[in-house]
Chains A and B, each alone.
Chain A
Amino acid sequence: MKIRTFIDQFFAFTRKEFYHILRDRKTLLVLVVLPISQLLIFGFALNSSLTEMPTAVLDMSNDRMSRQIVAEIDASSTFKVVERVSSMDEVDELFKRGNLSQVFVFMPGFEKEIKRTGVGNVQVIMDASLQINASTLESYILATLLNYQRKINAGRELPIQIVPEIKMRYNPRLDSAFHFVPGVIGIVLMLVCSMMASLAIVKEKESGTMEVLLVSPVRPPVIVLAKLVPYLLVGMINIVVILLISVTVLKVPITGNIFLLFFIGIVFTLSSLALGIMVSVLTKTQRSAIIISIAGLMLPAITLSGFIFPLDSLSLGMKVIVHLMPVTLFISAARNIMIKGLGMDAVYPELFGLLAITIVLIVISIKCFKNRLS
């Protein structure tokens, strides 16, 4: 086919797809509002404030200051001292029973040390298996100790310092409280893009317009690629909105390059759309397309992408498989950029992976589409 015709057809089709989206106000509303509400719900649900967290105290110094600090901790609404223990073995025992959030340990001679050096160390051992809670609690511990420090320094000539020494149990390399936000972005983008794309072609099969297209000289690549364009634009708007909300409402700092993040977001959007389009090509009804995109795409994306469960524990085979999902690659890259502040050289494997997957999916869609013609 002549390139001219191809381009003419492509523009005619892209225009048509834009009309479809813009006229279907309800769907458009869903496409924009759904990701925002999802992000806020996930964001706040996982960021919820914690109260009365069971706390133990091992006070081997038992002096005035250590007792004051314990009282301070107990008085805050976040912590509740439920146990006083006398040895590290008992601490271990309590953690094993699983009903302890953290232990405050005061070494012998706590107050004496402060009087001598001006600095006192409080050891805090935390159950970090719920990493989101742990990092929130960490900030509460800091705040409580600072509060006490400020009180005691009032009217004192030489200020003293209380330094918490925090040790994590069960999850020692707790990355960040904001660990989950890149995950939410990935899941929400995928939800919107795959779902809407999965309906794009099958909708025309149901309405009967597809038959007319098949009898016309228009080629599958034109139909498939033209479907992607307007959805990609919606996806880009979503990325901007989601990042804005993450920064302004959820207060997640973006330490890395925001343009790199945006670019990877676009490639990821494209791969999610390609997944949806493939579902759309392979199914016959909108209903089965929706079921497949929920059960076949969303469930694995939520459970196996590293969004909730860490991927470290997976076997090598499973690791390879989960890394073939675009959402896994995106979440990993987004965490590297947003939280660790890493640059291009840290994320190019993910970027190329996403590009490769996208191309493969689009080629599969076009090929399978062609089969239906004959």
Chain B
Amino acid sequence: MERVIEVEHLEKKFGNFTAVDHISFHVERGEIFGFLGANGAGKTTAMRMLCGLSKPTSGTGRVVGFDIARESEKIKRGIGYMSQKFSLYENLTVRENIRLYGGIYGMRRSEIRDKMDRVLGDLGLLEERNTQVRLLPQGVKQRLAFSVAAFHEPQVVFLDEPTGGVDPAVRRMFWELIYQAAADGITVFVTTHYMDEAEYCDRVSIMVDGRIEALGTPAALKQQYGVPGMQEVFYLLARRAQRKEG
């Protein structure tokens, strides 16, 4: 299998504080990789380095075939991103948001139009194409934001706690989109602290105090720690944390 993300001894320091402490892992093409950790464990910092938003203090990493320290502009063209905060423009309509992001990634107008019909059809939003995004329900917004992040067919989509504030049923619908994207060959890198979501991933890593303490398929991790669910695996590891939250 081809490795879309590959990281060796990645470290990020802010002054004396080591936010990310020599982590190493890889993600294969088409995989759904769950990047778990308590708040303050360093997962957002690690993800920002992978996206080219911040430079590592030491260590190396390659994302979609480019070096994260030196070729971040090339990486940006090959990835999609959906942030913790809501990432669409609230006072733009569904169609305008899609056209804007399509334009940012250099897609042709005709290409944008064709793809938009397909995507909105899948989301059941064809009727809402001229509705301003702020008027949509939270769950719909999040699914739209994901579809926009994957709209330009990136090799990897990074999702930073994408399903905050919605109930499990809505999260389930969101994950159907993720599965579909993965089936289309898009690699999904997702941070979350909902353990029901962790169960949906192909593989997960769990970060504690800046280090990756566990990595494997959910089934393997549950077996390794002898517990019935990811929730318990997570508690066992998170209890070791020295750092305060935040």
Residues of A within 8 A of B91 (CB): 19-20, 23-24
Q: A134-180: which have CB < 8 Å to B?
A: none
Choose one: A13, A15, A215; the contact of B53 (CB below 8 Å).
A215
Residues of B within 8 A of A24 (CB): 91
Q: Is the CB of A216 within 8 A of B86?
A: no
For the complex, what is the distance from the CA of A214 to the CA of B76, rounded to whole Å?
9
Say whether B199 faces chain A, with CB atoms less than 8 Å apart: no
Say whether B1 faces chain A, with CB atoms less than 8 Å apart: no
Q: Is the CB of B105 within 8 A of A208?
A: no
Q: Is the CB of B81 within 8 A of A215?
A: yes
For the complex, what is the distance from the CA of A13 to the CA of B99, rounded to whole Å?
10
Residues of B within 8 A of A5 (CB): 106
Q: Is the CB of A8 within 8 A of B132?
A: no
Choose one: A16, A207, A211, A374; the contact of B96 (CB below 8 Å).
A16
Residues of A within 8 A of B92 (CB): 16, 19-20, 23
Q: Is the CB of B104 within 8 A of A218?
A: yes
Nearest residue (CB) in B for A215 is B81
Q: Is the CB of B99 within 8 A of A12?
A: yes
Say whether B25 faces chain A, with CB atoms less than 8 Å apart: no
Beta-carbon contacts of B88-108 to A below 8 Å, as 1s and 0s? Answer: 111110001001111111100
For the complex, what is the distance from the CA of A24 to the CA of B91, rounded to whole Å?
8
Say whether B55 faces chain A, with CB atoms less than 8 Å apart: yes
Choose one: B84, B96, B104; the contact of A216 (CB below 8 Å).
B104
Residues of B within 8 A of A218 (CB): 104
Q: Is the CB of A19 within 8 A of B96?
A: yes
Residues of B within 8 A of A11 (CB): 103
Say whether B77 faces chain A, with CB atoms less than 8 Å apart: yes
Say whether A317 faces chain B, with CB atoms less than 8 Å apart: no
What's the nearest-Cβ distance from chain A to residue B175, in Å? 21
Say whether A315 faces chain B, with CB atoms less than 8 Å apart: no
What's the nearest-Cβ distance from chain B to residue A157, in Å? 78
Choose one: B53, B87, B103; the contact of A12 (CB below 8 Å).
B103
For the complex, what is the distance from the CA of A219 to the CA of B152, rounded to whole Å?
17
Q: B19-66: which have CB < 8 Å to A?
A: 51-55
Q: Is the CB of B105 within 8 A of A217?
A: yes
What's the nearest-Cβ distance from chain B to residue A227, in Å? 13
Residues of B within 8 A of A16 (CB): 89, 92, 96, 100
Residues of B within 8 A of A258 (CB): none
What's the nearest-Cβ distance from chain A to residue B200, in Å? 24
Chain A's interface: helix, strand, loop or mixed, by majority?
A: helix
Beta-carbon contacts of A210-226 to B below 8 Å, as 1s and 0s? Answer: 01111111100000000
Residues of A within 8 A of B96 (CB): 15-16, 19
Q: Is the CB of B77 within 8 A of A217?
A: yes
Say whether A9 faces chain B, with CB atoms less than 8 Å apart: yes
Residues of B within 8 A of A13 (CB): 100, 103-104
Beta-carbon contacts of A1-37 to B below 8 Å, as 1s and 0s? Answer: 0001100110111011001100110000000000000
Nearest residue (CB) in B for A206 is B85
Q: A19-B96, A24-B91 are in contact. Are A215 and B106 (CB under 8 A)?
A: no
For the complex, what is the distance from the CA of A208 to the CA of B142, rounded to whole Å?
14
Say whether A209 faces chain B, with CB atoms less than 8 Å apart: yes
Q: Is the CB of A9 within 8 A of B132?
A: no
Residues of A within 8 A of B150 (CB): none
Residues of A within 8 A of B104 (CB): 9, 12-13, 213, 216-218
Choose one: B73, B87, B99; the contact of A212 (CB below 8 Å).
B87
Q: Is the CB of B103 within 8 A of A9?
A: yes
Say whether A373 faces chain B, with CB atoms less than 8 Å apart: yes
What's the nearest-Cβ distance from chain B to residue A196, in Å? 16
What's the nearest-Cβ distance from chain B to residue A321, in Å? 36
Residues of A within 8 A of B85 (CB): 207-208, 211
For the complex, what is the distance from the CA of A9 to the CA of B53, rounded to whole Å?
20
Residues of B within 8 A of A15 (CB): 96, 99-100
Residues of B within 8 A of A8 (CB): 103, 106
Q: Is the CB of A208 within 8 A of B100?
A: no
Residues of B within 8 A of A215 (CB): 51-53, 76, 79, 81, 158
Q: Is the CB of A209 within 8 A of B89?
A: yes
Q: Is the CB of B55 within 8 A of A208?
A: no
Q: A11-B103, A16-B92 are in contact. Are A214 and B53 (CB under 8 A)?
A: yes
For the complex, what is the distance from the CA of A245 to the CA of B99, rounded to whole Å?
40
Q: Is the CB of A216 within 8 A of B89?
A: no
Residues of A within 8 A of B82 (CB): 212
Residues of B within 8 A of A216 (CB): 76, 81, 101, 104-105
For the complex, what is the distance from the CA of A373 to the CA of B75, rounded to whole Å?
13
Say whether B83 faces chain A, with CB atoms less than 8 Å apart: yes
For the complex, what is the distance from the CA of A15 to the CA of B98, rounded to whole Å?
13
Q: A107-129: which have CB < 8 Å to B?
A: none
Nearest residue (CB) in B for A16 is B100
For the complex, what is the distance from the CA of A215 to the CA of B101, rounded to whole Å?
12
Q: Is the CB of B100 within 8 A of A209?
A: no
For the complex, what is the distance from the CA of A23 to the CA of B92, rounded to whole Å?
8
Q: A343-374: which have CB < 8 Å to B?
A: 373-374
What's the nearest-Cβ distance from chain B to residue A183, in Å? 36
Residues of B within 8 A of A373 (CB): 52-53, 72
Nearest residue (CB) in B for A8 is B103
For the complex, what is the distance from the CA of A23 to the CA of B89, rounded to whole Å?
12
Q: B94-138: which have CB < 8 Å to A?
A: 96, 99-106, 132
What's the nearest-Cβ distance from chain A to residue B41, in Å? 19
Further contacts, 7 of them, CB under 8 A, given A16-B92, A217-B76, A373-B52: A207-B90, A208-B86, A215-B76, A215-B158, A217-B105, A217-B106, A373-B53
9 contacts between A and B (CB under 8 A): A9-B106, A15-B100, A16-B89, A19-B96, A23-B91, A211-B81, A211-B87, A212-B149, A217-B76
